[in-house]
A and B are shown apart, each in its own frame.
Chain A
Amino acid sequence: MTYGYSGKILKVNLSTGEIKSENLPGEIMRKYMGGKGLVYYYLKDSIDKDTDPYSEDNPLLFMTGVASGIPAAGTSRMIIGTKSPITGGFGISESGGFIAPELKKAGWDGIVVEGVSSKPIYLLIRDDKVEIKDASHLWGKGNGEVNDIIKEENDDKTLKLSQIGQAGENKVQYACVINDLKHACGRNGMGAVMGSKNLKAVAVKGTLGINFKDKDKITEISKWYAKHQKDQPLSKGLYMYGTAAGLLGIDKSGILPTRNFKQGSFEKAEDISGEKLAETVLIKREGCFACPVRCKRVVEIDNEKMKVDPKFGGPEYETIASMGSLCGIGDLEIISKAHEMCNDYGLDSISTGVSISFAMECYEKGLISKNDTEGIELNFGNEDALLDLIKKIAYKDGFGSILSQGVKKASEIFGKDSNDFAMHVKGQEIPMHDPRGKIGVGMGYSLSPTGADHVQAQHDTSLADEGPILDSVKVLGLTQPTDPMGYGKEKAYYYSTMEKWWSFLNMAGVCDFVPAPRGSMPIDKFIELINSATGWDVTPEECMEIGERGITAARKLNYELGVDEKTEELPKRFYQPLENGHLKGVSMDRDKFLDTKQEYYKMMGWDKEGYPTQETLEKLAL
């Protein structure tokens, strides 16, 4: 008997209609833990440099982790993987919610979707009963409506759903997969690949449950944490104000992305803060599976000007900043509407906001005109333009068709010097954190295998001083504070240490907001939770090695796919000074940054070109 996982992977071939169960050996689970580790395991032999991401040769993987579904905080993560249409390389995107625990309760550790269906379909998984159902009547409809129809026609309101909206159907490059209308696997174009397979949704109901080795211990830890986290500032902040709890501090620190990263402070920051959201449009706080932190927002607006349906949840920090300050918009009702539209159409709100913001700057600089935008006056702060363009992007309508390809390709079309402020790495748009005030985040943007990504490592701003947060990670080997604006060996060490830990969390299927350092559960207690579920004897050292394996495996696969260190360049804008705020005049130092990356390569056992050495690959059994 296995504990904490079933050892079964569901394989569905949409070209042939074949459905089968495949064993997942225990040694593979211990080696990779799940998440991006299993994405690598199932992707590595399926794709090569020439594989078209939208072809039947590119599998789409829905993976849980060994911790997913443990009845305790932070165990909700679903990790979707594929060859990304954005980067052409190793692609993953993760979200919380309920579908990963549901899939495990149905007896599956993951799903491998192969081939392409000849017509729109959805997958209906009820434990070991798996059906491919016709979705012709659902094609062209938004996520909200489809969610209702699938539940109704299967007479089960408790089904959990991963879905694509019109954006995925239309293969908008940054279309996402939305889980239960509120939780987005937003990045890397997962929705576009799902759309290319004519797969409209995956609906899951699990009744089998999950075997755990020591249920009493799990209950004990879970109860302890529920009580402990209540008044702990890291958890309390997330509960009270969601991920936007930090927005005011980010603004005062001069690193709130504003007007396409030209500025680091927004004059209407207070109007879009987590505090303001709680005072105005918030109607409820929600959590993911078994999680007492409850960082999710639910907003509702119902007035003459605007209606926003609470079934889509509410905007998190990334959406608030990308639709707000980045576009010069300081109205939470507009931002909430933009959030609803993105979740209904199935668009990544980060890439959508960055693409629109980029177009706004191009318009203000005169690189494009009303002739290009079909009459839209695309200045920063134009709220109507924001909402119009979201719809046009989802449907690839007119000017929206250009922006649907992301800023890298849009800058090639707009020309002139627009590439200097096309904010992306590897074609993936930059999230809402300015690395000019936290160099470690710049490391993540540059080094992430999936293109610009803000959840590669705990941000260095929280580890700048001695204190409880630094104390919480000493068990992982990080014992000295890191200057957020520093470079060199010290920065490389901080980054590689925190990256390995967050890599492990992804692989195990765990939310960054629960275990330390971002969350308030001590690391040893969290590891005890995994061991209680599995019966294993995992140590912090093993966790770090597993995390390192995940990073190195993705790196290896990317180089085989042609995505090498030449794709790691940050946008020129980050080497130019910020125009306002606390860090006015501050820019990144490119030479020092590149030297820091070389230090990091050395620490990771990679060569000067960033490829893992033979010794490293052998050490990690890759």
Chain B
Amino acid sequence: MKIEISEIFIDDNKLKKNIEIELKEPKKVVDILEELGVKNLGYADFYLNDKKVKKDTIAKNDDLLTVLPIIGGG
């Protein structure tokens, strides 16, 4: 699956902004990202194929997952 991560969530953990992984079986969004080492997910919103989803939504290998900062306003 393809994953796009806002640079806000990328520090020194060698993650890249755009990555592609092989997902052997469907998995929760939050589990996928935690396994990749993405931190601070409590401040993120998640989008699967451009649609906003909850962190425990199940993603499949052909999905596009986007991680963006949470909408706070102001």
- Residues on A lying within 8 angstroms of B by beta carbon are 231-234, 236-237, 240-241, 243, 245-246, 248-250, 252-254, 275, 433, 438, 441, 454-455, 458-459, 461-462, 465, 467-469, 512-513, 517-518, 582
Given contacts A233-B43, A234-B43, A252-B66, whether A458 and B72 have CB atoms under 8 Å apart is yes
The 6 A-B residue pairs whose C-beta atoms are closest, nearest first, are A459-B73, A467-B42, A233-B43, A249-B68, A468-B42, A461-B71
Contact yes or no, B69 A461, CB < 8 A = no
Please, which residue of chain A has its CB at the minimum distance from the CB of B8? A237
Given contacts A252-B66, A467-B42, A469-B43, whether A517 and B72 have CB atoms under 8 Å apart is yes
Given contacts A240-B7, A252-B50, A582-B51, whether A469 and B73 have CB atoms under 8 Å apart is no
Contact of A518 among B9, B47, B51, B73 (CB under 8 A): B73
Contact of B45 among A253, A254, A275, A459 (CB under 8 A): A253
Contact yes or no, A249 B70, CB < 8 A = yes
Contact of B69 among A245, A438, A441, A465 (CB under 8 A): A245
Contact yes or no, B71 A249, CB < 8 A = yes
Task: Decide yes or no whether B44 CB sits under 8 A from chain A.
Answer: yes
Contact yes or no, A469 B42, CB < 8 A = yes
Task: Decide yes or no whether B54 CB sits under 8 A from chain A.
Answer: yes
Given contacts A233-B9, A236-B8, A582-B51, whether A459 and B71 have CB atoms under 8 Å apart is yes
Would you give the 0/1 interface string for B33-48, flagging 1 where the beta carbon is closer than 8 Å to chain A? 0000000101111010
**C-alpha gap A341/B40 in the complex (Å):** 39
With a cutoff of 8 Å between Cβ atoms, the chain B residues found around residue A275 in the complex are 7
Given contacts A231-B11, A234-B43, whether A252 and B72 have CB atoms under 8 Å apart is no
With a cutoff of 8 Å between Cβ atoms, the chain A residues found around residue B69 in the complex are 233-234, 237, 245-246, 249
Task: Decide yes or no whether B55 CB sits under 8 A from chain A.
Answer: yes
Q: List 18 A-B contacts (CB under 8 A).
A: A232-B40, A233-B40, A233-B69, A234-B43, A234-B69, A234-B72, A237-B8, A249-B68, A249-B69, A275-B7, A441-B73, A454-B74, A455-B74, A461-B45, A467-B42, A469-B43, A469-B70, A582-B51
Contact yes or no, A513 B52, CB < 8 A = no
Interface of B is mostly: mixed
Contact yes or no, B66 A518, CB < 8 A = no
Contact yes or no, A252 B73, CB < 8 A = no
With a cutoff of 8 Å between Cβ atoms, the chain A residues found around residue B72 in the complex are 234, 246, 458-459, 461-462, 469, 517-518
Point out which of B11, B71, B73 has the most chain A C-beta atoms below 10 A from its C-beta.
B73
With a cutoff of 8 Å between Cβ atoms, the chain A residues found around residue B44 in the complex are 233
**C-alpha gap A207/B40 in the complex (Å):** 42
Q: How far is the CB of B31 from chain A (nearest CB, A)?
A: 16
With a cutoff of 8 Å between Cβ atoms, the chain B residues found around residue A462 in the complex are 70-73
Contact yes or no, A252 B68, CB < 8 A = yes
Interface hits, B10-31 → A, CB 8 Å: 11
**C-alpha gap A441/B71 in the complex (Å):** 12
With a cutoff of 8 Å between Cβ atoms, the chain A residues found around residue B9 in the complex are 233
Point out which of A231, A236, A253, A468 has the most chain B C-beta atoms below 10 A from its C-beta.
A236
Point out which of B6, B45, B70 has the most chain A C-beta atoms below 10 A from its C-beta.
B70
Please, which residue of chain A has its CB at the minimum distance from the CB of B47? A252
With a cutoff of 8 Å between Cβ atoms, the chain A residues found around residue B47 in the complex are 249, 252
Q: How far is the CB of B10 from chain A (nearest CB, A)?
A: 10
**C-alpha gap A469/B41 in the complex (Å):** 11
**C-alpha gap A461/B68 in the complex (Å):** 13
Please, which residue of chain A has its CB at the minimum distance from the CB of B44? A233
**C-alpha gap A249/B66 in the complex (Å):** 9
With a cutoff of 8 Å between Cβ atoms, the chain B residues found around residue A252 in the complex are 47, 50-52, 66, 68
Q: How far is the CB of A527 from chain B (nearest CB, A)?
A: 20
Contact yes or no, A233 B50, CB < 8 A = no
Q: How far is the CB of B47 from chain A (nearest CB, A)?
A: 5
With a cutoff of 8 Å between Cβ atoms, the chain B residues found around residue A467 in the complex are 42-43
With a cutoff of 8 Å between Cβ atoms, the chain A residues found around residue B50 in the complex are 252, 582
Contact yes or no, A458 B70, CB < 8 A = no
Point out which of A233, A245, A461 has the most chain B C-beta atoms below 10 A from its C-beta.
A233
Contact yes or no, B70 A461, CB < 8 A = yes
Would you give the 0/1 interface string for B57-74, flagging 1 where the beta carbon is closer than 8 Å to chain A? 000000000101111111
Contact of B43 among A253, A461, A468 (CB under 8 A): A468
Please, which residue of chain A has its CB at the minimum distance from the CB of B50? A252
Q: How far is the CB of A263 from chain B (nearest CB, A)?
A: 15
**C-alpha gap A469/B8 in the complex (Å):** 16
**C-alpha gap A480/B11 in the complex (Å):** 31
With a cutoff of 8 Å between Cβ atoms, the chain B residues found around residue A517 in the complex are 72
**C-alpha gap A592/B68 in the complex (Å):** 31
**C-alpha gap A467/B43 in the complex (Å):** 8
With a cutoff of 8 Å between Cβ atoms, the chain B residues found around residue A234 in the complex are 43, 69, 72
With a cutoff of 8 Å between Cβ atoms, the chain A residues found around residue B11 in the complex are 231
Given contacts A433-B73, A461-B71, 16 further A-B contacts (CB under 8 A): A233-B44, A233-B69, A241-B8, A246-B68, A246-B72, A249-B69, A252-B50, A252-B52, A275-B7, A438-B73, A454-B73, A458-B72, A462-B73, A467-B43, A468-B43, A582-B52
Please, which residue of chain B has its CB at the minimum distance from the CB of A468? B42
**C-alpha gap A233/B42 in the complex (Å):** 9
Please, which residue of chain B has its CB at the minimum distance from the CB of A459? B73
With a cutoff of 8 Å between Cβ atoms, the chain B residues found around residue A237 in the complex are 6, 8, 69
Contact yes or no, B51 A458, CB < 8 A = no
Point out which of A232, A433, A467, A518 has the most chain B C-beta atoms below 10 A from its C-beta.
A467
**C-alpha gap A459/B69 in the complex (Å):** 14
Q: How far is the CB of A301 from chain B (nearest CB, A)?
A: 24
Q: How far is the CB of A459 from chain B (nearest CB, A)?
A: 3
Contact yes or no, A465 B55, CB < 8 A = yes
